[in-house]
Each structure stands twice: as structure tokens, then as C-alpha cells.
Amino acid sequence: TEQQSPPNVRIIHSGHACNIEEERYTERVYTIREGETLKLTCLVSGHPRPQIRWTKTAGSATDRIQDSSVFNETLRITRIQRHQGGRYYCKAENGLGTPAIKSIRVDVYYLDDPVVTVHQSIGEAKEQFYYERTVFLRCAANSNPPVRYSWRRGREFLSQGSDKGVEIYEPFFTQGETKILKLKNLRPQDYANYTCTASVRNVCGIPDKSVLFRLTNKTASPTIKLLVEDPIVANPGQTVILVCIVSGGEPTPTLMWVRNTEELPKKSILKSETLTIPAISMEDAGVYSCVASNNVGNPAKKSTNIVVRALKKGRFWITPDPYHNDDNIQIGREVKISCQVEATPPEELMFSWLKNGRPLRSSERMVITQTDPDVAPGATNLDIIDLKFTDFGTYTCVASLKNGGIPEISIDVNISSTTVPPNLTVPREKSPLVTQEGDTVDLQCLVSGKPKPIILWSRADKEAPMPDGNMQTESYDGVLRIVNVSREMAGTYRCQTSQYNGFNVKPREAIVELINVRPFSDPPTVEPVYTEIRQGLGRPFSLSCRVLRAHPSKVLDYEWKLGTRLLTVGQLDTRDETEYHVRALNREGYGAYTCDIKNEAGAGRCTFLVTGKAYAPEFYYDTYSVLWQNKPRVYGFKLQWTQMNPNAVDRIMAYRLGIKQTGHQRWWEQEIPTEDNIQKGELLTYNLTELIKPEAYQVRLTPITRFGEGDSTERIIRYSKFHCAFEEDTICMFTQDKTEEFDWTRHSAATRDTKYTPNTGPSSDRTGSKQGFYMYIETSRPRLEGDKARLLTPSFNVAPKNPYGNVATNPTYCFSFFYHMYGKHIGTLNVYLRQKSQTGQDTSVWTLSGNQGDRWRQARVNINPTSSFQMVLEGIRGSGIEGDIAVDDVAIEEGECRDPPPSSSEYIGQEFLKQLFNQWLLSLLQ
């Protein structure tokens, strides 16, 4: 038997972190400066060894990290950029239980140089005697975290209110990222040097950055003139010169040329105001813009469209008689020949037709159209009505441009009695295909028909691009060649006829399978990589090592060893696994067995650790047993446990019990003997007595067999009874009542978003920690008034009767908790006692409604259960969204509550009396 365990995972980091902020159990935030190296490592445990995968989420969409290390333990990003920030997840799975997932948020910090832009508004006054001129200086810098701005005029710092002619503000729509300096009704002293400083307050060691702008009475936005025609029509090979002149602007504008959204052609020559494009080609065509900017007003932009004359892509198709279903060409029927080309500029395109080399003119039976609205632009049709034997021959469509200079395109189409529609078949040996990574493979569809159509290839099994990056690939001979095959290219491919260069009939299609793309020269991948086997003396067992994949895989050698001792060797030819058998285990047979399976590329290794160690015992946490006390200064505890896989190894003869006070060094040890074989799931008990109040103890339990000591298990025993501060994900085995409208939520102030309900809920946990957790009811939409959420404690056993007295009364327990009820729409918090002996009847023990102020208060209540019991915390939503109720530090303790706080009505009465007493004191003093 193998010990299997589900995956567990944690993320550790190394590299240039500025700060690692632990967000208590939910997630860590890793802060790094742009350009530094990010290195995250995923530490996993579990058996079989889990597979690891890193993924990243950006906003709501999930995208895989485009990096070869996506399946490695370590994720490394050198020179990290701002767009690479986000939440990174490490997922480990081995088929046991749910996958283990941990995440870390990477925050990339940066600060770009600030930019000052200047705008002015000129408004005419009613009297028309003067012009009012207002100038705005806007400062903006890209940053993370948000940037702060400050302004200086000369050396003087400007602030709101320091100068009546100056206003400083942040426009609402920029969310505080832009700082505007407004100079109202410009004065002579406003002509000065202005400095904007952007700062992220040295976060991550990022220094402040500044920019200077000089405002004068000549400051003006740029103006330009473009000394060219629009559009410019050129023949391929011509040199095109564009000239742009700056005609105004202060400071002096900078000029730049741009083409559409693309870069300028690499052969372009840029010299001051002139852009020269030598030997222009079709790829160089587009809209070219001259842009002048000096950060005053809007940039000046003027554009021209360069058109390069060209003819390309000649295509034809034959449409059989559309009024008959037959796809063949027959005498007496109608045939249409269509011809299409791409022309630039399209208005210059001209067509002419030839039959057997002689010009053809439009007639009643041979109708030539060039402006058919049903045909794509740049197309011409020749309709042959009532086909005769004399119409068989070669028809040529000739396309040219009006002003010459470009070679014409001609397309020949044969119409004859042997013109037949297309057909597609796949050769038997061409599907399915098996190939190897890195090879070149030809997928083939045999195409018949006259004329032969173009074949379009596409993926049939998924919406994915073809190896050339396009969704469809054209082939003229029915062959699709894939060079340097990778595993991602395996799958099903569709070949189908295109209407172009062939018959315009319904597409014919066929499927070709490319399967099993083997990796090139891979060493064997084997399983299990590591297995621990626990076994008793004298028993038989078998070890098996299996090959998952290997290349080449014709003959594989195997070698079994125990430690360094060779056990057996052999070859795998047709089988994919090798076994090693042990008839009866002796003491020398314990140790590490290895099986190496080899090919010319390397070896894969299976490792088996054979041991006689007993598995660890598992402490029993089924119900919380409230601690019992039998003497004034000491307490006792009933230790309960089960044994994991007790029959896997030799009989457990005893347990070694270790116990020590927490914080002390010394362990006290004793042996607990066992008489019979322990059964799986059998509950073992041992009473611990004489534990000193209120100390906590660390307990260690170790099973002992003939082999020696097994695996130990430890736990802490506290006198503090049941206490839960909700710091762990398991929330102390509390459960939600699914019959109610909504659930309680576990949260901390550090992660809770109070943006929507800022005037409600706690700003920290009960201890004052922003990172500490608590439970609360979220009353925002879609919650309605009166909706309930119920949180149930685990079940508790009632403590045994006092063995030293004859008092038969039921024990009293103190149930205490802290509550936070702040907000103008607070509803009600109720507490109920639910007993096993009273099914369906919950007893109300405490209730409170309404706003209790922005602080945590404690409630204590005595309860007297007669059987196993649970406590129920019920939150009821009030009349609006500002009604979040929170609870923290829930505890149950044997004995009556010490100094219980008054109930809510008593408390209000006492407050009223206190106010009256204070007023009486004041009147005496006066």
C-alpha cells in the first residue's frame, strides 16, 4: 500500500522586492519596481508528486503567462514591466482531493517623467472694451502608486489661496491623477517659469521627477503648412517627397511624421521638415501625417494619402446555369465567367475580354458587364446565353489601369465539354498521420475537376489559427506543408474547395487527421516518480515502474537497485512497465528501491521508499469537548485519536505520549500500551489529569512497532475552553445555515472594500488589528430588509457531572462574544441555544437592535444546556445598506459569567440614570 496525500502549496519569493505585505491568510502583496527581476517559487508537497501550473489574472479575464516556465516551479520575469503586474496563481494537482491553489498579487511601481500642457480660454466681456484671458497649466505623469503634484513659480511654492490670481485643483474625471494650475485673467507677473514636481513619496526608492515650462506673452500653439497634394498617386519605384513647414508656435514646436498607426517605412529619409520615401512600393501606401507639438494647445496635424498604383490578385470563377441544379456545363444552357482583380486606385480599373486571342464585344448572347451590383468591386462578368458548340474555347479577361505604367493582368479560362465540377478525396495513407516534433509533414487532399479550384485549409477541431498565423491557408495543389511541427499543431484539419479559380458551386470538403506528434528525443517519463511504501516484516509486496512516454521508444533498458546494490536488469520491448517482487520482507529489505528506465536521450527514475514505520495517529476533533475540572487548581482533558492505516505495518505495541507546558523545554514522556490489534477508525482514548490552570500544553503521540518509532502527531491543549477569533480559513468549524437568505462573510479591514458603504462596519478586528479577521453580514444589494444570515458554532458535549459531589444540577456555561453594530440602518443581532435533545426548537438567550456606535462591545450570557448543544448567531438586515453587523472572539467557558454586562434595556436605563446624576452634580457645583 502506498501513502497518498493531496497537494499542498505555498509561494516563496526572492528577487528585488521593495515590500512584502502579508494580508493575513488571504493573499500577499509583492511590491516591485519596474525593470527589476521578479522570481516566485511554488513549494509543493503531496503524493503522487503534484503537477504545477502558474496562471495570471488581469482584471476579470484569465490569461496564461506567455512564458516557457508556465509549468515550472519557479516563475521568473526579468526586467518586469507595468503590464505584467497582477494576481499570479500557483496551482498544484495530483488527482487527490481538490487542487491546491495559492496566489500572490504583484504590484509594479513606476513613475514616468511628468508632462506640462498649456491651454487658454479667451472670453469676450459684455462691454467689449477688453479681453479676459485665462491660462491652464496641466501636469500629468503615469505612475503607480498614485502621484502627488506640487507647483513652483520661479522658486516660490504655489498653494491654493497663496495667490488670488491662482487656483490649483484636480479635475474630477481624472481621479486625482492630474493637477491643474489655473491663472485667472492673466497678469504681467504670471509670465514666469513654472515647475511641476511629481512624487510617489520615495516609495520603492523612486525619486521625484520635475518638468519646467516657461510662460511668456508669446506662448502660442503650433501651426503648420503641408506643401503637397492630397492624395498623391505614384507608380511603384517612384521617389515621393513630403514637405511640412512650421508656420508658428512658441516654444518652438517639434515635428514628427506618422503613417496610419504603423511605423514609417524603414527606407524613409527624414531631414528636418522633409520626408523622402525612395522607390515606393505597395506596402508603403497609406495616410501620412505631419504632427507638430509644443505642449501648448492641441498638436497641429495635417495629412495626405499616398496611393501606389497597382494591379494584383487575378481570380476567376465559372457559374453553371443557375436555373438548373446540375453542376455540369451543357450545351443550350447559360454559363457565367466572372473575373476579379484588386486595383489601386480602383476608379482607374478597365477590363476587356478576348476569345481565343481575339477581342470580344458585348452582344445579345455574349453579355459583358463591369458594374454588376451582385459582384464584388473590381469584377467583370461574361454571360454566355444558350451555350453552343462553337462557344467552346479559351476566354481571356484582361485588366489594366487607365493611365498605363503598370503591366496588365490577363486570366485564361477554358470552356469545353470536358469542363467538370470539382471533387475532393484524401489518400488512405495520408490520414491519420503520425509525425515527430521538429519534422516537416505534408497534409494532402486530392482534388479533381476542370479547372482545378483553389483549396482552403483550416482547423476543423477548434477555432485556432493555422501554422502560418491565418485562419485559412490557400493551396493550389491540395497540399498543406507544415514545417517544424510542434505538439500544439496536432488535431484535425479541413480542406475545402473555394469558388475562386474554379466552379462557383457548393464547397466540397474533406478531413485530414494529424495525430500523435511525438516529442523529439525525450528521455522516458515514468510513474510513480516517488512512492513511500509501509510494510510489515515477512510480508510480500511488488513494485511497478511504468513508462508514460519516451522517444525513441523501440527498446528501453531497465535497472532495479536497492540503495547501491544491483537487483536485476532487462529490456522493455513491447511492454510499458517492469515489476520487482519481494516474497517476504526482512530487515535488510527496508530502504530506497530505484528503477531506472533508459533510452539514448537519458533515463527516467521511479523511487520507492520501503519502511516499517507506522503512520501518524490522527487526533479526533469531531466535537468540541468542553474541558472538565475536578479540583480547584487543576483540570483534565480526554485525549482521543484514531490510527491512520493501522494494518499497513506490524502491530502497534504502544504509544509514546509526550507532554510539556507550552514555552517550556522539558518533555514528560510515558508509554501507553495497547493490547490488541488496532482497527481502522477505532477511537482510542486516554485521560490527561493534573493539568495546571490556566496553562496550555503541547501533546505529542508516537506509535511504536517492532520496526521502531512511527510518525508523530502534535496538538495544543488550552484551558481557555472554546475560543474563536476567525483567523483561520476553517473558522473553527463554524457553519452557515443554508436555509436562510444569505451567509455571514469572513473578512479583515485590510481587504474589505468600504468604498460603497463607508459609514458602517468595523475599521479593525476586536483587537484593533487591520489584518485581523472577523465575521460580518454584508447588507449591500441584493439584500432586502428582514433578510437573515445564521452562523452556527460547532457542537459541544456537556461536561461530565462533578465526580466529587452529589449535586445533580446541570452545568452552567458562559457564552461570550464581541459585537460591532455601527451604521444608521443596523437591524438586529439575535443569539439562540440549539440542543440535540430539543430538535427544531431554538431558545432565544440574547438580542439587540439598532446603531450601537463605532466600537466593539462584549456580550456575555449564561446558558444551561442539558445535552449536546450549538449556539446560533442570527443577523437580520435593517432598512438600508449602512447596516453591517460584525462579531469576533466567540468563546464558551464552563462556569457562570464573571461580571456580565447588563442587557441592552438595563444598559440604556443605567446610562439615563448616570446622565441625571451628572446633571445633579453640576447643579450642586454651580
With a cut of 70, say whether residue 627 has pLDDT above it: no
Q: Is residue 917 part of a domain?
A: no
Of residues 436 and 701, the one with the higher pLDDT is 701
| Same domain flag for 167 and 126 | yes
Whether residues 504 and 534 fall in one domain = no
Q: Of the segments 166-170, 430-434, 756-760, 847-851, which one has the largest average pLDDT value? A: 847-851
Instruction: Please give the pLDDT value at position 496.
Output: 93
- DSSP string across 174-191: GTT-EEEEEE-S--GGG-
pLDDT digits (tens, 9 = 90+) for 825-854: 999 999 999 988 777 789 999 999 999 999
Q: How many CB atoms lie within 10 A of CB 21?
A: 14
**Best-predicted range by mean pLDDT (121-125, 462-466, 573-577):** 462-466
- Tell me, yes or no, whether 884 and 836 share the same domain: yes
How far is Cα 356 from Cα 474, in angstroms, rounded to an integer? 30
Residue type, 538: G
User: Is 126 found in the same domain as 87?
Assistant: no
Q: What is the pTM of this model?
A: 0.47
Q: Does residue 921 fall inside a structural domain?
A: no
* pLDDT mean over 94-99: 80
Tens digit of each residue's pLDDT (9 = 90 or more) over 368-385: 987 655 656 788 999 999
Instruction: State the pLDDT confidence band at 607, using cuts at 50, 70 and 90.
Output: very high
Contact between 362 and 337 under an 8 Å Cβ cutoff? The reply is no
pLDDT on residue 801: 52
**pLDDT per residue as tens digits for the range 751-787:** 665 554 566 788 899 988 888 899 999 888 788 999 9
350 pLDDT above the threshold of 80: yes
- The most distant pair of C-alpha atoms in the chain lies apart, rounded to whole Å, by 132
Model confidence at 300, in pLDDT bands (50, 70, 90)?
very high
Query: 707 CB contacts (<8 Å, ≥6 apart)?
Result: 537, 590, 611, 612, 613, 614, 649, 650
Q: For position 542, what pLDDT does the model report?
A: 93
Shared domain for 583 and 701, answered yes or no, is: no
Return the pLDDT at 621. Answer: 56
Whether residue 900 is contained in a domain is answered as no
CA distance 413 to 410: 10
Q: Are 752 and 866 in contact (CB under 8 A)?
A: no
Instruction: Based on the fold, state whether residues 551 and 509 are members of the same structural domain.
Output: no
Predicted confidence (pLDDT) at residue 900 exceeds the cutoff of 90? no
Grid coordinates representing 172 are 474630477
My answer on whether 203 and 318 are in the same domain is: no
Does residue 39 contact residue 53 with C-beta atoms inside 8 Å? no
3-state secondary structure (DSSP) of residue 916: helix
- What is the per-residue pLDDT for 122? 65
pLDDT-derived band at 71 (thresholds 50, 70, 90) equals low
User: Of the given ranges (43-57, 165-179, 510-524, 758-772), which has the lowest mean pLDDT?
Assistant: 165-179
Beta bridge partners of 74: 41
Q: What is the pLDDT, as a whole number, of residue 66?
A: 44
Q: What percent of the chain has pLDDT over 90?
A: 39
* Domain boundary pick from 91, 110, 129: 110
**Domain-located, residue 770:** yes
pLDDT digits (tens, 9 = 90+) for 505-560: 888 888 888 876 665 566 788 888 898 899 999 999 999 998 887 766 667 899 99
Q: Please indicate, yes or no, whether residues 373 and 506 belong to a single structural domain of this protein.
A: no
Q: Which residue has the cell 497582477?
A: 86
| Number of domains observed in the structure of the chain | 8
Task: Look up the CATH number of the domain holding residue 260.
Answer: 2.60.40.10
DSSP annotation of 628 reads B
Q: From 277, 308, 339, give the residue that closes a domain.
A: 308
110, 142, 170 — which closes off a domain?
Answer: 110
Q: What is the pLDDT of residue 912?
A: 46
Q: Which residues pair with 884 in a beta bridge?
A: none
Is a pLDDT exceeding 70 seen at residue 918? Answer: no
Q: What is the rounded average pLDDT of the residues 689-704?
A: 88
pLDDT of residue 544: 92
Give the pLDDT of residue 503. 84
Residue of 551 and 230 predicted with greater confidence: 230
Give a yes or no: residue 463 inside a domain: no
Indicate whether 912 belongs to any domain: no
Closest to 37 (Cα-Cα) out of 75, 72, 11: 75
548 within 8 A of 538, measured Cβ to Cβ: no
Domain that holds residue 241: 223-308
Let me know if residue 904 belongs to a domain: no
R_g of the chain, CA atoms, integer Å: 42
The pLDDT tens digits of the residues spanning 669-694 come to 999 999 889 988 888 888 888 888 77
- With cut-offs at 50, 70 and 90, classify the pLDDT of residue 485: confident
Residues 100 and 122 both lie in one domain: no
Given a cut of 50, is residue 61 above it in pLDDT? no
Helix (H, G, I), strand (E, B) or coil at 488: helix
- Specify if 924 maps to a domain: no
Q: Are residues 773 and 845 in the same domain?
A: yes
* pLDDT recorded at residue 600: 77
Average pLDDT taken over every residue of the chain: 84
CATH number at residue 880: 2.60.120.200
User: Which of 13-17, 190-194, 262-266 is the most confident on average?
Assistant: 190-194
pLDDT recorded at residue 804 = 43
More confident of the two residues 626 and 866: 866
Question: Among 676, 697, 673, which Cα is nearest to 686's?
Answer: 673
Bigger pLDDT: 534 or 912?
534
Alpha-carbon separation of residue 663 from 191, 347, 628, 668 (angstroms): 72, 92, 23, 14
Indicate whether 200 and 150 sit together in one domain. yes
Distance, CA of 455 to chain centre: 39
**Position 650 pLDDT exceeds 90:** yes
Chain segment 238-281, per-residue pLDDT in tens: 999 999 999 999 999 999 999 987 789 999 999 988 999 999 99
> Per the structure block, which three cell numbers stand in for 757?
458603504
Write the burial class of residue 173 (CB in 10 Å: 0-12 exposed, 13-18 middle, 19+ buried): exposed
Predicted pLDDT at 64: 44
> pLDDT class for 705, splitting at 50, 70, 90?
very high
The percentage of the chain sitting over the pLDDT mark of 70, rounded to a whole number, equals 86
Do 751 and 785 reside in the same domain of the chain? Answer: yes
The mean-pLDDT minimum among 60-74, 76-90, 623-637 falls in: 60-74
Per-residue pLDDT, averaged over 116-130, amounts to 64
